[in-house]
């Protein structure tokens, strides 16, 4: 199922990734989904809350920093869910960057992925976006590339 993304949303996500470098950026994709496509209506850039959330949710990952991990705060997730619901939208995906690394999902990304979401991963090399790929989970909980249609 393709992910429909406006050029302005594409630019907003890419700019967020580049200005967050060398740390991972993250954010939410709000939109609509039907049988044919997922359509991004709004991009919500988030502060990478890894340092504040890791101790509680991922204590085994303490050696990692925002350069290799990201977290979106539960408060922002709740705010986004409420905002989306009030406008008959849903959270349809999450985006994050991989500084100086490929836009391929990591084992950590796979472990915490939700089947209904699209996952945009950006590779940011030396502060510039070099790759922008969307992924979704198949029936075997494995990431598969997802077509992005820029509109």
pLDDT tens per residue across span 17-62: 999 999 999 999 999 999 999 999 999 999 999 988 777 776 777 7
Q: Is residue 139 part of a domain?
A: no
* Domain range for 76: 3-132+144-150
How many domains does the chain fold into? Answer: 1
Q: Is residue 137 part of a domain?
A: no
The H-assigned helical ranges of 58-106 are: 74-86
pLDDT digits (tens, 9 = 90+) for 64-99: 888 899 999 999 999 999 999 999 999 999 999 999
CA torsion angle 51 54 59 61 (round to 10): -80
Q: Is residue 26 part of a domain?
A: yes
Q: Closest Cα partner for 143 from 91, 85, 103, 92?
A: 103
**Domain with 27 in it: what CATH number?**
3.40.140.10
Strands 148-150 vs 143-146: parallel, antiparallel or unpaired: unpaired
């Amino acid at each position: 199922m393709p992910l429909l993304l406006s050029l302005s949303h594409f630019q907003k996500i890419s700019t967020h990734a580049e200005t967050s470098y060398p740390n991972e950026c993250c954010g939410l994709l709000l939109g609509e989904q039907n049988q044919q496509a997922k359509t991004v209506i709004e991009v919500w850039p988030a502060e990478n809350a890894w340092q504040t959330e890791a101790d509680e949710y991922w204590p085994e990952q303490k050696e990692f920093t925002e350069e290799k991990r990201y977290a979106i705060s539960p408060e922002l997730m709740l705010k986004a869910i409420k905002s989306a619901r009030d406008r008959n939208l849903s959270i349809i995906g999450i985006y994050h960057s991989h500084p100086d690394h490929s836009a391929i999902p990591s084992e950590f990304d796979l472990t915490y992925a939700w089947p209904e979401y699209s996952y945009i991963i950006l590779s940011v090399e030396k502060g510039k976006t070099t790759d922008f790929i969307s992924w979704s989970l198949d029936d075997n909980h494995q990431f598969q590339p997802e077509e992005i249609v820029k509109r």
